[in-house]
Amino acid sequence: MNEKVYTAWFPECCAPTLITRDMADMAAFLREHGKIVCKPLHGMGGRSIFVLEQHDKNMGVVFETLTDYGRRFAIVQRYLPEIATEGDARVLLIDGEPLPYALARIPQPHDNRGNLAAGARAQVRPLSERERWLAGR
């Protein structure tokens, strides 16, 4: 199973997420959340990641491209503005216990992608209380 699908098991731990190939559902999700991140379900390295806001004229082409006109699944998530400055964290577990530090992946100021392969900056920092809680889930 794709690791992006596992987030569905822990909805209280992550941004609202929709996995679909239905472009109308994606548009409804955008209307509900106002700003979203869209990416292919089976992708990595920051490839084909888009941020859309309501009334974005590229909405249709982004949804068509990611889903191949409804033939492939994509993942859409509510945009989290704190990712732009704080990054997203990778927490490592050994025997179910988190290491005391996380690796934050912080996007470049001109980019929305927090992928190291796409130029994001890596920063090691102590685990936050929320990250400790998440690791215990």
Residues in the chain: 137
Which residue, chain included where needed, has tokens 């888009």?
A: 50
What pLDDT, in 10s, does the model give residues 22-72? 999 999 999 999 999 999 998 777 889 999 999 999 999 999 999 999 999
Q: CA-to-CA distance for 32 and 21, rounded, in angstroms?
A: 18
Residue 5 has pLDDT above 80, yes or no: no
Joined together, the tokens standing for residue 28 give 């409804």
3-state secondary structure of 123: strand
Q: Determine the average pLDDT of the residues in 76-101.
A: 94
User: Given CA atoms 21, 69, 27, 66 in this order, what sign does their dihedral have?
Assistant: positive
Residue 130 has pLDDT above 80, yes or no: yes
| Sequence-separated (6 or more) residues with CB below 8 Å from residue 132 | 98
Predicted pLDDT at 106: 96
Q: Determine the average pLDDT of the residues in 99-107.
A: 96
What domains appear along the chain, each with residue ranges and CATH number? 5-78 (3.30.1490.20), 83-135 (3.30.470.20)
Predicted pLDDT at 1: 61
